[in-house]
Structure 1
Amino acid sequence: MEPVSVEEIRRSFVNSTKSQIKAMTPPARFTELPWESLDYLGWRDAKAPNRAYLVVRRDDGLIAIALQTAATGKPRRGTGLCDICNTAHQVTDVALFVARRAGSAGREGNTVGTYICADLACSLYIRGLRELEVPQGDTASPEVRATRLGERLESFAARVLA
């Protein structure tokens, strides 16, 4: 992903109010992010752990999507699968993220959701740059996995925008 500024991110939200955008806390160490290893930018808000954000570069420009999730969950056993990167994790390391739909549908309360790596680090997992406790999931090359991740992310973004 090409680097973006905090202001570019704030201008690109498709499903948030002005006050929500203003309250957004950028990711920690924003200037030190490994942009060359990111397919998208995703992070949880340090001031509000139940809020998260995805920033995606699409053919028609940059979009930012505000997400909601449970701040904490009960400890559970088993594995869960991220719908974006198709990586298996301990079930507590995958979370259901819900986005209000853009436009009038969102104002009417309509949402879409998907299971994503709880730390939103899909790009790092598919490249082997972040360790997994449960080494399972897609066994294709990182390049193929990145392509698939992009397709799944585009599908989620399209559902938010629909």
Structure 2
Amino acid sequence: MRTLTESIIRSSFVNASKGDASRAQVPDLSGIDFENLDYLGWHDAKRPRQHYVALEVGDETVCLLLRGAEQPAARKMLCGWCEDVVDGVAAASFVAPRAGARGRRGNSIGTSVCADFRCSRNVRREPAAFEVRSQDPALLAYHREQRIAGLRARVEAFARAVMAA
């Protein structure tokens, strides 16, 4: 993922009003390792039901407004993006208003995502014994690459569905 700035984030919201984009609390970007991120997700401390995701769709940076519970009800369920099944990882339900006229009419699309937006870490972890029954470094690297590619494809597909006219 390319390095983001606050101005890039604020100007790339596709499903939020200009007011919502200007009020969004952007996290401190200075310590973020963008090279190992497939998307940047964060919770708004000032507006606890607002959550945000910044990602690349093609060559463009896109930011999505997500709505969820103040304290996302993290449950043992499969994350729709990283598809991680490791014990201790919990997902929560989020809803994104559709972009444009459909969103203004109240249409939205939902998904379950890791409650702490840690999908990028999950797909880069060492596989559990039940996932890959091998110690072959080439096979382990291939498994990791496939998980990263799958995450990117699913997050981008969600963003495209939010932006669809």
Q: Same fold (TM over 0.5)?
A: yes
- Structure 2 equivalent of residue 132 of structure 1: none
Alignment of 1:10-159 (within 5 A): 10-27=10-27, 29-72=28-71, 79-88=76-85, 93-128=90-125, 141-159=143-161
**Contact residue 87 and residue 137 of structure 1 kept, 8 A:** no
Query: How many residues were matched structurally?
Result: 154
Question: TM-score, normalization: structure 2?
Answer: 0.83
Q: Kindly report the root-mean-square deviation, in angstroms, between the aligned alpha carbons of the 2 structures.
A: 2.4
Give the 3 Å change call, closer, same or farther, for CA 138–69 of structure 1 in structure 2. Answer: farther
What is the SS of the residue equivalent to 1:67?
A: strand
**One-letter code of the match for 1:53?**
Y
Higher strand proportion (structure 1 or 2)? 1
Mark the runs of 5 or more structure 2 residues left unpaired by the alignment.
133-141
Q: Percent identity?
A: 36
Which piece of structure 1 moves more, 30-39 or 88-97?
88-97
Aligned-partner SS, 1:87: coil
Structure 2 SS opposite 1:147: helix
Secondary structure in 1 aligned to 2:41?
strand
Instruction: Give, as a single letter, the amino acid of the residue that structure 2 aligns with 1:117.
Output: C
SS where residue 31 of structure 1 aligns? coil
The 2-side partners of 1:136 and 1:14 are apart by 40
Alpha-carbon offset, residue 23 of structure 1? 1.1
Larger CA Rg, structure 1 vs 2: 2
Counterpart CA distance in 1 for 2:83 and 2:98 is 23
Alignment partner of 1:81: what SS?
A: coil
Q: Is the 8 A contact 2:73 2:92 kept in 1?
A: no
Map Cα deviations across residues 106-153 of structure 1 (whole Å, 9 max, x no partner).
000000000000011100111129xxxxx6996572211010001111
Equivalents in 1 of 2:87, 2:77: separation in Å? 6
139-148 vs 47-56, greater mean Cα deviation: 139-148
Q: Deviations over 1:45-91 (max 9, x none)?
A: 12223211111111141110000011236686xx2110000012668
Distance in 2 of aligned mates of 1:23 and 1:90: 36
Partners of 1:5 and 1:119 lie apart in 2 by: 21
Q: Distance in 2 between matches of 1:66 and 1:60?
A: 20
List, as ranges, runs of 4+ consecutive aligned residues in structure 1 with deviation greater than 3 Å.
Answer: 73-76, 89-92, 135-140
1:35 Cα deviation after fit:
0.9
Shift of 1:159: 0.8
Counterpart of 1:153 in structure 2: which amino acid?
V
One-letter code aligned to 1:81:
L
